[in-house]
Amino acid sequence: MRKLTTAMPSSFPSLLGDLSRVAPDHVRDVAETKRVLERWMVDPGFRRAFFQDPATAVAGLGVSLTAEQVLPFLGEDSVAEDRRPAAGARPPRSVLRYQAFMQEKIGHRERVRAAGEAADPRMAAWRRRQLNRCTSELGLARATAIVHAPAAFELSKGCTVGCWFCGVAAPRFDHTWAHTAEHAALFRQVLTTMYELLGPCLRQGFLYWATDPLDNPDYEDFLRDFHDVVGRCPQTTTALAHKDVDRTRGLLELTRSLGSEVDRFSIIATGQLDVLHEALTAEEMLRVECIPQNKGAAAVGRKSNAGRARRFAAKRAEELTSDDLSSTIACVSGFLFNMVDRSVQLITPCNASDDWPLGYWVLDSGTFDTAADLRELTETMISRHMRSALRAADVVRARRDLTLSVEDGFLRARSREQVVRIGDLPDPETVADLLTRGDHTAEDFAAARARTGVPFLTTMAMLDGLFTRGLLDEEPPPASRAVPVTIEGAAR
């Protein structure tokens, strides 16, 4: 789908806020444009029909738009040559309105990223390093799409959907965590404990991971609990929106009433979009992002080669990101809970690999029974793995995905996605050699450099700068070798 670059007037109203303040025709223009583009992204039959006869194809969707109002987003190749509009025509007002909406959603994503920084300075510094590392490791485009939320809470064990491409390899559904009085009380205590530990950034958390939230029949009750305790309604992402459209309509009404800006529906088959478009108006789905995951979806909807999808890398390569691109769907740099098991892991995104097939590192794990257990557990994880600065006793080595070289007197660190030039260093060849060998502590590294005339503190400051930029290795051992935290008194 084509991206426009037309400058946006600042006068367009927000569509992620109170829609009662927005003119109905503005809402309709954006909602109907979004609906046509959803159909384009998901349905190859619609794309073929549009190529032959754009006007008839658009009219068949029951919207008030003309083909000319969506063509600017699709590009010339979307229609037969004899049906292309004249070059240089001024975009319709509906086009500008939709583009403003897309820019508003990008701004919303950036605000979510910014709001995800914890109050604890150790976790805040650690999270900033992960953002920097991911930009280098995953590439700017993929890294900026990751919000690095501070926490996620699974309310079931496993998932009923069973997508072949599941990027976190969700296990087969076992059972769910009912919203009983006991469970609701524990959940609220967990949220309160984490809010006290992390601060307002917990508002950027959400209630799913290797689960589908709608597998839990009480999901909406947990949403209300989260909103009551934390002060924000978390985003919902589900592949089951089509299963019970009355429930889905009620869910959207609830999330809007609680101030949720964006929800997401994964579309695994074209028929699912048919059901949703038939049951829900374009305006009802205005704030829902439909993620095309079906066979035949447009190429920009390619899936990450992570999790269960890695088993099909050869057989279904045309549906997956290519080997030369990074892959992960992980979006948490913080704590992953499963409330069924009362377990918690400390995780952060990485490129999917044989060592980390799910596309995230697991730095630590443990279980808890009570909120007091949880506080001790998470404090232990933070103390063990998060620090604000490089320590003298830390072993320093370049990340293993980096290649170091010296060119024109500058040290360069190359990853698959970018090249970082590292300052004006005395004797950069020695720096590159020591960082590649990775057998020196920071103190020993600085002492070795001091013997060649480079001040000790200069080297320590240089190493801390590399650490802050996420260029030094903090990768834990693969998950299968991770040692869980044990809190005395926890039953599990």
Interacting residues of 327 by C-beta distance below 8 A, sequence separation 6+: 167, 304, 305, 306, 320, 321, 351, 352, 359
420: pLDDT strictly greater than 60: yes
- Read off the pLDDT of residues 325-345 as tens digits, 9 standing for 90 and up: 778 999 999 999 999 999 999
Sorting pLDDT into bands at 50, 70 and 90, what band is 85?
A: low
Asked whether residue 183 falls in the same domain as residue 317, the answer is: yes
Longest CA–CA span in the chain (Å) reads 78
Return the axis-axis angle of helices 270-279 and 24-42, rounded to nearest 10°. Answer: 160
Q: Is residue 437 part of a domain?
A: yes
On whether both 346 and 400 belong to a single domain, the answer is no
Check residues 340 and 303 and name the one with the higher pLDDT.
340
Q: How confident is the model at residue 88 (pLDDT cuts 50, 70, 90)?
A: low
Average pLDDT over residues 36-55: 94
The answer to whether position 11 is within a domain reads no
Residue 372 inside a domain? The answer is: yes
Average pLDDT of 84-96?
80
The helix (run of H) or strand (run of E) holding residue 367 is strand 360-367
Say if residue 304's pLDDT is above 60.
yes
Residues 232 and 353 in one domain: yes
Same domain, 378 and 400: no
Asked if the structure places residue 258 within a domain, the reply is: no
For range 464-488, the mean pLDDT:
76
Residues 173, 19: Cα–Cα separation, whole Å: 38
Task: Read off the pLDDT band of 2 (50, 70, 90).
Answer: low
Q: Are residues 306 and 381 in the same domain?
A: yes
C-beta pairs of 277-283 under 8 Å, 24+ apart in sequence: 277/35, 277/38, 277/39, 277/61, 279/245, 279/248, 279/249, 280/245, 280/248, 280/249, 280/252, 281/31, 282/28, 282/31, 282/32, 282/34, 282/35, 282/63, 283/27, 283/28, 283/31
Expressed in percent and rounded to 5, the helix, strand and coil fractions of the chain are 45, 15, 40
Same domain, 164 and 231: yes
**What is the rounded average pLDDT of the residues 214-229?**
98
> What is the Cα–Cα distance from 245 to 77, expressed in whole angstroms?
35
Point out which residues pair with 404 in neighbouring strands.
413
- Structure-model confidence comparison of residues 180 and 2, the more confident one: 180
Q: Pick from 357, 385, 413: which residue ends a domain?
A: 385
Residues 205 and 321 in one domain: yes
Confidence tier at 4 by pLDDT (50, 70, 90)? low
DSSP for 39-90, please give it. HHHH-HHHHHHHHH-HHHHHHTTT-S--GGGTHHHH-GGGS-GGGPPPTTPP
Q: Which domain, by its residues, includes 418?
A: 395-468
- N- to C-terminal Cα separation, the chain: 49
Answer yes or no: do 414 and 306 share one domain. Answer: no
Q: Is residue 339 part of a domain?
A: yes
More confident: 139 or 125: 125
Q: What is the rounded average pLDDT of the residues 139-154?
A: 93
Angle of helix 245-257 relative to helix 270-279, nearest 10 degrees, comes to 70
Strands 419-422 and 410-414: antiparallel
pLDDT band at 182 (very low <50, low <70, confident <90, very high): very high
CA distances from 67 to 25, 34, 85 (A): 17, 13, 10
The share of the chain scoring above pLDDT 90, in percent, equals 79
Mean pLDDT score of the chain: 91
- From residue 252, give the alpha-carbon distance in Å to each of 68, 188, 382: 31, 23, 36
Distance CA(317)–CA(304), nearest Å, equals 11
Domain boundary among 385, 408, 438: 385
Residues 399 and 381 in one domain: no
405 and 322 within one domain:
no
Residue 136 sits in the same domain as residue 225: yes
- Beta bridge pairs of residue 366: 344, 485
Q: Kindly tell me if the per-residue pLDDT of 385 is higher than 60.
A: yes
Tokens of 455: 């001040």
pLDDT digits (tens, 9 = 90+) for 335-376: 999 999 999 999 999 999 999 999 999 999 999 999 999 999
Does 301 lie in the same domain as 441?
no
Neighbours of 214 (CB within 10 A): 22
Kindly report the pTM of this predicted structure. Answer: 0.91
Domain assignment present for 68: no
pLDDT of residue 481 exceeding 80: no
pLDDT score recorded for residue 404: 95
pLDDT surpasses 80 at 484? no
Residues 436-460 have a mean pLDDT of 95
pLDDT for the residue 492 = 38
The number of folded domains in the chain is 2
Specify if 376 maps to a domain. Answer: yes
Of 327, 350, 385, the last residue of a domain is 385
Q: Residue 143 domain-assigned?
A: yes
